[in-house]
Structure 1
Amino acid sequence: MRYVKFWSAIVTLGCAGGLAILALSTDVRAQTFGGKGAVTILTDAIASPNGRAGRAVLQLAKQLAAKPGLRVLAIAGRGGSSNVDDLLGLRGIDMAVVNSDVLAFKKLTRSRPAVRGRLELVGRLFSRRVLLLARKSTRGLSELAGTTVVAFSGAGYETARAVFGLSQISVDLVGIDRASKAKLAGFEKAQAVVLLEDEIERLPAGVAGEGQPFSVISLPLTPSLATAYDAATIAPGQLSGVAVSKPIATIEVATVLATYHWRARHQRYTDVGAFMKAYLLALPLLRQAYPTANWGRGDLLAPVPGWKRHPLARPEKVLPAAQIAALGTPTEPIAPKPVAVVRAKPLVRPQPNAGTVARPPVEDLRVSVLSHPPFAGKSLAKGGLALELLGHALAATARATRGSPPHLAVGWAPADPEKLGAAFRQNSIDISLPWPTVRCDRPAELTLTSAILCDNVLYSEPLMQVVLGLYVLSNAPISLDKPDSLRGKTLCAAEGQDLSRLNETMRRWIASGRVTLMRRATALDCVAASQRRQADGFIVPDLEGRHLLKRLGVQGLFRMDEQPLATVGLHAVVSKTLPNARQLIRRINDGIRRIRQNAEFAAVMRRHLQPLLQSH
């Protein structure tokens, strides 16, 4: 029960510095208490007066200001778990800005009020990476058991508590007051420091710089941490104030807009529901208005680990498929950061045996990754299946030649044909992935992107094989085993989906007009077209189809035909004009063969695909 009357609570907590109304006039306050159309959002403006979350809410309120019958009122709160307490305990608070790991923190600390089943997700605002700084002798999280760990009080402390709690590692966690200047003495007894990336500036001098006692170490996403966090990478040069010499795996915590589990019969359900619809419709406009702010970064509609989205905040109920796909990509591609190459002194090594692939002189590789879930994606564990397989392949070849694996400077970019061709011709990237197998000997059937690839790149051996399948409505009397059932049907494929590998039967049916091929911008648009009966089915790789249907929550609406249309490889590609292109391709191919011969390949595949396959 939300038990405290709103305005008496505002007076009490406001005097204590816990909660404050931002610029509310008398008529607005009356509207919040009993008026219609006003919704309140609790920010973290007391803890972070100029923070990203507070700015995001104010930008949202400004964008929706002209919406008839809707007022968005920002309220300054303390942030962190305090916002959860106020959202659940104060009448008049509709939504709150919280970190995604607050659910794990509440569960681990068994603090009241209980949150299970009472909070739901409205949307993701932004994400922050978590940094684990440790003394030189520490190599991993497990080695910190029984030691003293420092974190800044507030959200950073709660994240540290959740990380160690979920990992079942007992430490003496000490919180440092964010309001005071942290002194070096506070770190003298600590073996490690946990902080969010925007807390680096709070570190005292002499802690984590070049040659200082603390350095950033890996904090990989484990199955237990995956219940509250996403995977992330810290690349050299990305963070000021801490020394990072090579890419380091870590986790990231999302800052989200959460709401109470309003029921349809509650008087707030209508107003909050109207806000959620307006919020989703405003996202494309916010990206245009603030392209370099939170709204232009990352996948705004990506699932948040541990959270269930409010039924009224589901994008597919409000937005067309094309906008959903667009919101899943940053407004500007994130280019790989330049990496300083550290030249090691030459070592005298035995001449490699005949047949051993010579190690190419590439110590730092610029890898351009296409966001293509579930095979690759910034929010996926280790960047996704394809990227992790590439890393394992390169490492396997390095081990075989007694070398060190290269540093991968990863950038994420859309498959823009013009930019892609220019990048390959100018040698601004070394490797790009994942790209499907194409038939370069069938130029008439190639997409523009495939034609550019055929002209400019060398293909590796397949990192993995995927099945190209036909998805149709579950109750549709369509089967590839019954040719007459496809006569006059329309099948949809994404514009970037190369169909040159289709089996001869389907290619003949399309060429003769027996089956009409519809092209849409993305596979998501093809799903939408099939739902609206504009198409009778869609052609997509099996795993991509599963991922899309799971994301949209419509797994039961479609089925994949048992007969595959094709088997397609996913490859890494290297520009033909790169000086060491053929050496690099040989190195990748050698590594692929090596990991297929041991347990590495199967383990990576199982780790990424098991959750997806279990959901069907």
Structure 2
Amino acid sequence: MKSMLGLFATTAAATVFAAAAYAAECNTTYTVKAGDTLASVAAAHYEGDKSKSSLIYYNNQKIISGSDLQVVEGMVLEIPCSLEDLIPDSTPLQDASAEMKLLTGGNNAPFTDQNWPGQGIITELVNAAMEETPAPVSFSITWEDNWSKHLFPLLDSQKYDMGFPWFRPDCENDPGNEICQNFHFSDPVMNLLIMLYVRNGNAFAYDNDEDIWGKTVCYSEGYFNRQLDGDGRKWLEKGLVTLVKAEATEDCFKLLALGDVDAVATNAVAGAKTVKEMGFDGSVSTLSRPFAEQSLHVVISKKNWRGTTHLFRINSGLAALKASGRYNQIIFRHLTLFENSLKR
């Protein structure tokens, strides 16, 4: 499923890893001042490293998500330290002969990749959530790198019980969507910040939604239009924004370099990774305000007679995991590994 997963690649909320004369201070709280952004708060606490804004976002996700993805004056943020221990957790429940069968695919580091520590951040979160369920059972994970086979036929035919990770379409406004009609979606395993990437010298202010009106934005295939038309925006419906669809994230950045689009919208991990791989570090910047949020889920066929039981199992495990400190530890570990990989 290149159309959905070949695109993702953070939640690191920036592509610039500049060092500056900032005093590092973490494992503390910080009260947001007027004019602060996630990036500026990160720079002030992590020796100028704006990319660590992702650590602050995930450690304060509930209050930031509830404030239009902005830090606002007076908000009290918990500032975590990066983890020194980067060893992935063990997987005691995985058993190749288990009755419960999970399906994922590779080549999507740092999310799902057999060569990434812990086989990826989402893989490790799913493993951990399965351990936190009320009645843990063993399970197997099968890797199929041809994502186009996952939903139909492999999951739809119930050859596998659960698949991950998948974006959820806007099922409320598009109930006829084939995926919505045929699959249950778990609670979010992880939320990704969608950022806007612009050419240096052609940046624009993005302080409110109206600043996007009249712009041409590129999305990769597999991203849904809900960031443009959902949540009351209706930018496409009203003709306020022009959308260009490209096959892959790299194609969007090529259009940006040519000046054919004003901005690329993609999750912060995919953006940081693509900018680095294409050598655009010095020519592309990230607008500091998050554009939207998109979540990754476990999916289960509605034809599966145990589907609602599986759904309860994974959701209860995710809830218990998120209530513990282990959820953030896993995310911080993988974000640190990802940031380190970009600096090599």
Give the TM bin, normalised by the shorter chain: 0.5 to 0.7
CA distance in 2, matches of 1:510, 1:609: 33
By how many angstroms is 1:383 displaced?
Answer: 1.9
1:409-459 CA distance string (max 9 Å, x none): 32133442x762222331122111111233212229x9xxxx332121111
CA distance in 1, matches of 2:312, 2:231: 35
Q: Which one of 307, 322, 338 corresponds to residue 596 of structure 1?
A: 322
User: Residues 376 and 506 (structure 1 numbering): CA distance in 2 closer, same or farther, change over 3 Å?
Assistant: farther
Partner in structure 2 of residue 422 of structure 1: 153
CA distance in 2, matches of 1:370, 1:503: 31
How many pairs align?
Answer: 255
Q: Which one of 122, 142, 145 corresponds to residue 386 of structure 1?
A: 122
By how many angstroms is 1:493 displaced?
Answer: 0.4
Partner in structure 2 of residue 478 of structure 1: 204
Partner in structure 1 of residue 166 of structure 2: 435
Partner in structure 2 of residue 539 of structure 1: 265
By how many angstroms is 1:535 displaced?
Answer: 1.7
Partner in structure 2 of residue 100 of structure 1: none
- Secondary structure of 1:432's counterpart equals strand
CA distance in 2, matches of 1:375, 1:552: 20
Checking the alignment, whether the CA contact within 8 Å between 1:520 and 1:526 is kept in structure 2 is yes
By how many angstroms is 1:369 displaced?
Answer: 3.2
1:521-564 CA distance string (max 9 Å, x none): 11121112212222221111122212222333323322222232
Q: Which one of 515, 518, 524 corresponds to residue 250 of structure 2?
A: 524
Q: Please state if 1:554 is matched with 2:286.
A: no
In angstroms, what is the RMSD of aligned CA positions? 3.1
By how many angstroms is 1:488 displaced?
Answer: 4.1
1:321-353 CA distance string (max 9 Å, x none): xxxxxxxxxxxxxxxxxx545xxxxxxxxxxxx
CA distance in 2, matches of 1:526, 1:376: 23
Partner in structure 1 of residue 143 of structure 2: 411
Amino acid at match of 2:143: G
Mapping of residues 112-191 of structure 1, within 5 Å: none
Partner in structure 2 of residue 609 of structure 1: 335
CA distance in 2, matches of 1:543, 1:506: 26
- Secondary structure of 2:265's counterpart equals strand
Q: What's the TM-score, normalizing by structure 2?
A: 0.65
- Secondary structure of 1:555's counterpart equals coil
Q: Which has the higher mean CA deviation after the structures are superposed, 570-579 or 559-568?
A: 559-568
Amino acid at match of 1:380: W
Q: What's the TM-score, normalizing by structure 1?
A: 0.38
Q: Please state if 1:509 is matched with 2:235.
A: yes
- Secondary structure of 1:413's counterpart equals coil
- Secondary structure of 1:574's counterpart equals strand
Mapping of residues 451-490 of structure 1, within 5 Å: 451-481=177-207, 486-490=212-216
- Secondary structure of 1:544's counterpart equals helix
User: Residues 443 and 436 (structure 1 numbering): CA distance in 2 closer, same or farther, change over 3 Å?
Assistant: same
Relative contact order, CA 8 A, sep 6+: which one is greater? 2
Partner in structure 2 of residue 565 of structure 1: 291
CA distance in 2, matches of 1:410, 1:381: 17
Highest Rg: 1 or 2? 1
Gaps of 5+ in 2: 1-84
Mapping of residues 188-227 of structure 1, within 5 Å: none
CA distance in 1, matches of 2:106, 2:304: 20
CA distance in 1, matches of 2:220, 2:233: 16
Q: Which one of 364, 374, 387 corresponds to residue 110 of structure 2?
A: 374
- Secondary structure of 2:256's counterpart equals helix
Share of identical aligned residues, percent?
A: 22
CA distance in 2, matches of 1:539, 1:526: 9
User: Residues 553 and 611 (structure 1 numbering): CA distance in 2 closer, same or farther, change over 3 Å?
Assistant: farther
- Secondary structure of 1:480's counterpart equals coil
Gaps of 5+ in 1: 1-221, 227-232, 234-244, 248-338, 342-362
By how many angstroms is 1:594 displaced?
Answer: 1.1
CA distance in 1, matches of 2:323, 2:312: 17
Mapping of residues 14-163 of structure 1, within 5 Å: none
Amino acid at match of 1:441: E
User: Residues 439 and 370 (structure 1 numbering): CA distance in 2 closer, same or farther, change over 3 Å?
Assistant: farther
1:104-136 CA distance string (max 9 Å, x none): xxxxxxxxxxxxxxxxxxxxxxxxxxxxxxxxx
Amino acid at match of 1:575: S
Q: Which one of 291, 312, 321 corresponds to residue 586 of structure 1?
A: 312
By how many angstroms is 1:613 displaced?
Answer: 4.2
CA distance in 2, matches of 1:419, 1:596: 27
- Secondary structure of 1:556's counterpart equals coil
